[in-house]
Amino acid sequence: MLKLARYFLILSTIIFSACKQEEKVKQVALQDFFKNPEKTAFSISPDGKYISYLKPFHNRLNIFVQTIDGKDVTQLTADTVRNIAYYFWADNNEILYLKNYDADEDPALYAVERNGKNTRNLISYKKTRISLISYERAINNEILIALNTRDSTVFDPYRLNIKNAKLTLLVKNPGNITNWYADSKGKLRMAVASDGVDETLLYRESEKEEFKKVLKNNFKTTIAPLGFSKNSSIFALSNQNTDRMTLVEFDCKTGREVRVIYSHPEVDVTDGVISKLKNKLEYAGYETWKKQRYYLDADIKEMYQLIEQQLPNTEIRITDRDSSENNFIVRTYTDRNPGTYYLYTKAANKLTKLSDVNSSLKKELLCEMKPISFKTRDGIIINGYLTLPNTKEVSNLPFVVIPHGGPSSRNSWGYNAEVQFLANRGYGVLQLNYRGSTGYGKAFWIAGFKQWGGKIQEDITDGTKWLIRSKIADPQRIAIYGGSFGGFSALHGLCFNSNLYACGASYSGLINLFTYLKGIPPFYKPYQKMYFEMVGNPEKDGDYFRNSSPIFHTDKIKVPVLIAQGSKDPRVNVNETNQFVKELKKKQIPVTYILKEEEGHFFNKQENKIEFYKELEAFLGRNLKKSN
């Protein structure tokens, strides 16, 4: 746990360190917060001669390529229905990409040449999902992918030739392999098998050999390969011998850790960045209240310092590099700025601005995100973030409590469009990393198991009460809002703590734990036992599921509700949501219901996102008004 004296703000400091105070809040247009980025997802060709990026075209993100000097620009895709979800340079001439798709659609892997010609569909099968095993560069015109074509419950590894779309099956999945790993030469060398509770790391020296078992762990104990170091050794994140994830070197032949490279005394190590040119670790990443780096390479440390001198008072991330590691894509951001992309040329120590993510936003109108902590009723320290609005009043504020999704994830410091939008509208915002969140060690994560309707919700309730005790929030004007698991938490709060909240909003929120587990896709079948341990077993824990699921407790909701959902949501049954809304209306509870027929778990289309946030703004405005 983070040390209180170091990371937790004294309440008076929080109150008086809000944004620059003004008599009246200057509102930023809603569309400016939620518009598509001007340009984003910059990447550089292996030879360093071209830069690619995503840019809106007819309100959908499409791929563009420019020469490194920015003089010649080519549009590669022109999709007006779906955003490009992901893309990468396969070689100096071709880019591969995936589009967003609905739950009942079949995804496809496409290729297009750098000049925008010869677009083709490389992979497209009915009722098949595509998983990329190697996705940074093609080797000899080949990449590794995994498909569940043969059996919907498992993914087999294939080598795909991007020139002729030829597929070669490398090995049949025996039914329990959940992850495949390739080495830097594109050879399939590692795998992870799971029986749903225990995971087994498998390894082989070459593709001519059979996979051999290296070690077996319960899923709570993790070894996450990052890349091969040398011979049979890999760099990995591991919590085998500690509560927190550490960066280690691991020998796949002996099944033992060779050395601990870096561990943090309070939080998990979340990343280890490897130079492919040098085959050397550059730094270990970890996250206290901000993301930080522990440098393992003097050269990369010096480079970051040189960049930071030119870009002071901003967070810096290197997001891509060419094969020679002379040209780098740099992304900056703060809590009040979504950021800017730059090209950094190492030899010249030169930064060239590529694009702002969103130049419509002015940081002086946005607000600081500050770290906070409090103790729960049972003495657990919960960390989170507090964002106060740009108003003269810094106490007794209307507030929105936002539980994060997952729940195995966490809130992080940085620019958040939802948070800044709400703060700009005069609301304080509280984000919590309740127990079950990741990043704070194994025990803290496990403490959230089978607590979806228990301790997790108590943590959220205790956070809301902390706001009230601290006199930051007006106890009559607090809303709870979240998406997915956060939506479940919002509805749970309205059911079981209705006296705390003036209203609540759920965006694709889970409403029935029984249905949630029954609706798990077939390719998640190997994880079923793990889900039973983390969430609960619907047969053995039926009473808990019923007592926790909002769908069985509509009679307990007494305040207005906003619900948004896509009809094609694979995780939340739309028929149950319709029934849930009908039950609330029968009880004369004011309900705002946004249902989009063409959307899945979250809204992908820009116009639907804007409509949702307009409705959310109006909903909060109606229900959090100051009483006379």
The model's pLDDT over 449-486, given as tens digits with 9 standing for 90+, comes to 999 999 999 999 999 999 999 999 999 999 999 999 99
Per the prediction, the chain carries an average pLDDT of 92
Domain limits of the chain? 4-31+364-512+549-623
Asked whether residue 394 carries a pLDDT value surpassing 90, the answer given is no
The pLDDT of residue 135 is 66
Higher pLDDT, 521 or 179: 179
Please, are residues 279 and 233 in contact by the beta-carbon 8 Å criterion?
no
Judging by beta carbons within 10 Å of its beta carbon (0-12, 13-18, 19+), is residue 613 exposed, middle or buried? buried
Q: How confident is the model at residue 15 (pLDDT cuts 50, 70, 90)?
A: very low
**pLDDT value at residue 105:** 65
The label of the residue with tokens 């890349």 reads: 227
Confidence of residue 49 (pLDDT cuts 50, 70, 90): very high
Task: Quote the percentage of the chain above a pLDDT of 70.
Answer: 95
What value does the mean pLDDT take over residues 197-217? 94
Question: Residue 357 — pLDDT band, cuts 50, 70, 90?
Answer: very high
Residues forming a β-bridge with 40: 54
Q: How confident is the model at residue 103 (pLDDT cuts 50, 70, 90)?
A: low
Question: Above 50 in pLDDT, residue 369?
Answer: yes
Region 6-23: what's the mean pLDDT? Answer: 42
Contact predicate 354/343, CB 8 Å: yes
pLDDT of the residue at 4: 40
Query: What's the pTM?
Result: 0.92
Q: What is the mean pLDDT of residues 427-444?
A: 97
CATH assignment of 4-31+364-512+549-623? Answer: 3.40.50.1820
Which stretches does DSSP call E strand in 84-183? 84-89, 94-99, 108-113, 120-124, 130-132, 142-147, 156-161, 167-169, 177-182
Judge whether 355 and 339 are in contact, CB under 8 Å. Answer: no
